Amino acid sequence: MVKYSYGKRISERLRLVRRDDGEVFVAQDFERTNEGLYKHQAMPALVAAADVLNHENIVSIIHPPGEWNPELVWDYCDAGTLENVLTDPHIVGLNNNTRGVGLLPEGFVWHVALSLLRALQWLHEGKRDEYSLATNTPGQLSNKKTRTTTINEPDWLTILHRDIRPANLHLQRSKGTETYPAVKLGGFEKCYVSGTVSSNADTPAVAMKRPDEDRIQFDVLWQRWANWSQNGLSTSPRERPYTEGSELFDLGKILYQMMTGKELPEGDYEECLVCGRRHIVGDGIEQLPPPSPGDKRLTTEECLGLTVNIDEVFAPLLEARAYSFGLCTLVHNLLNQKRKFELRASQVLDRSWDHFGEWVEQYPDGNIFVDVYDDAHRRLANAQRLQAKLILESRGITTED
Ligand SMILES: [Zn+2]
């Protein structure tokens, strides 16, 4: 049985605990004034939650509370959040991009992108990524990894997080030789378990609740989806569906801010309420139909809303090789996914994987980038080398390191 020793209390109901292998976690006390309620409702709910909050890129439940252990044990994210990094990139040892343009290094942007895509792939589709080294010549490790995904659980119901933002991306200090801290999605207060079976291609996608709505009937969601599919932008913004694509779009916004240091312009990302046009333009970003002749809204020229052309923002960054073409393409794709079911997180990962590999091969920072999977392979290779050396030595053969 795993043992925990108690450490520092960090708030009234939270304290740090150390597992017998040395790893530190957070333990949360549970109010148990109503024992019946605790046993029959809270405990089973937490056990169910622990099945879902169980992924390397999600702030995970390590131990749900049981009858004898009253505490809930969580991952301990000890390196702040992405919001902290955007405010002060130095806190996790990230210097501003050395090429003088762009905010954060490309390796860290890829690291956040792939981590969050893996978390979304799990929540939306119930699939995990698995990696193995493409080539492994003795004594030399390749940077090339092959990626596969696990088969998703057949009855997995799509889960929408509905609050993807930098403050909910938690960082955990590297435990091995990884270049950057582990990224874990937390803040599940607004998450929503849909009634749609993720793997069933015959099930039409259901329009989901907006983050500010708590209870809504399924038939209303379906109706909204039908309205939106048919009437598009003439659907009131409050009645437009929230989809898996909306969460991919949120990731695009985060990556854009990590690269440029600026948030995309405020307001609705589909059409400006003043002029009816979209204030984000660029190659691959869908344009809106022109306003109808009777539209009384201001013209684009009269509107004071700032228009951002993504291509013009990215051009100097690409020119200076601060960021690769593949990363910029990923951001373009993501910013075009709001309210769509066009791409799933696993498909975006498939498409990005080659671009990420090109960056690893072609950019100096890419050559020295180490993630947790590389670190695990390196440890394994070292252990195997050591074992081979010991066997040879036991036979009286000395080896050179
Ligand atoms: Zn406008």
CB 75: neighbour CB atoms within 10 A?
21
| Residue 91: predicted pLDDT | 63
| Residue 208: predicted pLDDT | 57
309 Cα: distance to centroid of ligand 1 (angstroms): 14
Q: Please return the burial class of 93, using the count of CB atoms within 10 Å of its CB with bins 0-12, 13-18 and 19+.
A: exposed
283 Cα: distance to centroid of ligand 1 (angstroms): 19
Superfamily of domain 1-76: Phosphorylase Kinase; domain 1 (3.30.200.20)
pLDDT range class, residue 121, cuts 50, 70, 90: very high
Q: Of 233 and 67, which is predicted with more confidence?
A: 233
Q: What is the mean pLDDT of residues 154-162?
A: 87
Percent of the chain with pLDDT over 70: 87
48 Cα: distance to centroid of ligand 1 (angstroms): 45
Q: How far apart are CA 356 and CA 57, in angstroms?
A: 18
247 Cα: distance to centroid of ligand 1 (angstroms): 24
145 Cα: distance to centroid of ligand 1 (angstroms): 45
| Residue 147: predicted pLDDT | 82
258 Cα: distance to centroid of ligand 1 (angstroms): 25
268 Cα: distance to centroid of ligand 1 (angstroms): 10
CB 104: neighbour CB atoms within 10 A?
26
302 Cα: distance to centroid of ligand 1 (angstroms): 8
pLDDT range class, residue 6, cuts 50, 70, 90: confident
The two three-digit tokens of residue 49, written as one number: 């939650």
Q: Which of 264, 260, 262 is nearest to 96 (CA)?
A: 260
241 alpha carbon, distance to own chain's centre: 21
State the average pLDDT for the chain: 82
Q: Which of 46, 49, 36, 41 is nearest to 69 (CA)?
A: 46
Task: Identify whether the C-beta of residue 80 lies closer than 8 Å to the C-beta of residue 73.
Answer: no
Q: Of 100 and 278, which is predicted with more confidence?
A: 278
Q: What is the mean pLDDT of residues 259-276?
A: 81
279 Cα: distance to centroid of ligand 1 (angstroms): 6
| Residue 207: predicted pLDDT | 54
Percent of the chain with pLDDT over 90: 27
Contacts (Cβ under 8 Å, ≥6 apart) of 102: 259, 260, 317, 320, 322, 323
* pLDDT 10s digits, 23-59: 888 888 776 667 777 777 777 778 878 888 889 999 9
* pLDDT 10s digits, 123-149: 999 999 887 766 555 555 455 677 888
Task: Identify whether the C-beta of residue 104 lies closer than 8 Å to the C-beta of residue 259.
Answer: yes
| Residue 83: predicted pLDDT | 95
The pLDDT of residue 374 is above 90: no
Task: Identify whether the C-beta of residue 299 lies closer than 8 Å to the C-beta of residue 217.
Answer: no
277 Cα: distance to centroid of ligand 1 (angstroms): 6
Q: Which of 218, 194, 165 is nearest to 341 (CA)?
A: 194
Q: Please return the burial class of 231, using the count of CB atoms within 10 Å of its CB with bins 0-12, 13-18 and 19+.
A: exposed
Task: Identify whether the C-beta of residue 323 lies closer than 8 Å to the C-beta of residue 106.
Answer: yes
Superfamily of domain 78-288+296-371: Transferase(Phosphotransferase) domain 1 (1.10.510.10)
Where do runs of H (alpha helix) occur along 73-138? Answer: 82-87, 106-125
250 Cα: distance to centroid of ligand 1 (angstroms): 21
260 Cα: distance to centroid of ligand 1 (angstroms): 22
pLDDT range class, residue 215, cuts 50, 70, 90: low
Helices 310-319 and 244-260 pack at an angle, to 10 degrees, of 50
* pLDDT 10s digits, 317-342: 999 989 999 999 999 999 989 888 88
Helix (H, G, I), strand (E, B) or coil at 132: strand
Query: Residues within 5 Å of ion ligand 1 by Cβ?
Result: 272, 274-275, 303, 305
251 Cα: distance to centroid of ligand 1 (angstroms): 23
Task: Identify whether the C-beta of residue 68 lies closer than 8 Å to the C-beta of residue 154.
Answer: no
Helix (H, G, I), strand (E, B) or coil at 91: helix
| Residue 196: predicted pLDDT | 78
270 Cα: distance to centroid of ligand 1 (angstroms): 11
Q: Tell me the pTM.
A: 0.86
Q: How far apart are CA 182 and CA 113, in angstroms?
A: 12
Q: Of 257 and 21, which is predicted with more confidence?
A: 257
308 Cα: distance to centroid of ligand 1 (angstroms): 11
Task: Identify whether the C-beta of residue 252 lies closer than 8 Å to the C-beta of residue 215.
Answer: no
* pLDDT 10s digits, 175-205: 777 888 899 999 988 888 877 788 776 554 5
Query: What own/partner pairs with CB < 8 Å and gap ≥ 24 does 67-73 have?
Result: 67/39, 67/43, 70/29, 70/30, 70/32, 71/17, 71/27, 71/28, 71/29, 71/30, 72/27, 72/28, 72/30, 72/46, 73/4, 73/17, 73/25, 73/26, 73/27, 73/28
246 Cα: distance to centroid of ligand 1 (angstroms): 21
Task: Identify whether the C-beta of residue 346 lies closer than 8 Å to the C-beta of residue 158.
Answer: no
Q: Of 121 and 387, which is predicted with more confidence?
A: 121
238 Cα: distance to centroid of ligand 1 (angstroms): 18
Residue 74 is classified by DSSP as E
Q: Please return the burial class of 197, using the count of CB atoms within 10 Å of its CB with bins 0-12, 13-18 and 19+.
A: middle
117 Cα: distance to centroid of ligand 1 (angstroms): 31
372 Cα: distance to centroid of ligand 1 (angstroms): 44
Q: Of 217 and 274, which is predicted with more confidence?
A: 274
β-strands 129-133, 72-75: how paired? Answer: unpaired
Q: Of 118 and 211, which is predicted with more confidence?
A: 118
232 Cα: distance to centroid of ligand 1 (angstroms): 18
**Domain residue extents for the chain:** 1-76, 78-288+296-371
264 Cα: distance to centroid of ligand 1 (angstroms): 14
| Residue 258: predicted pLDDT | 95
- Measured CA to CA in angstroms, residue 146 lies from 125, 134, 233, 356, 369 at distances of 20, 6, 41, 12, 16
281 Cα: distance to centroid of ligand 1 (angstroms): 12
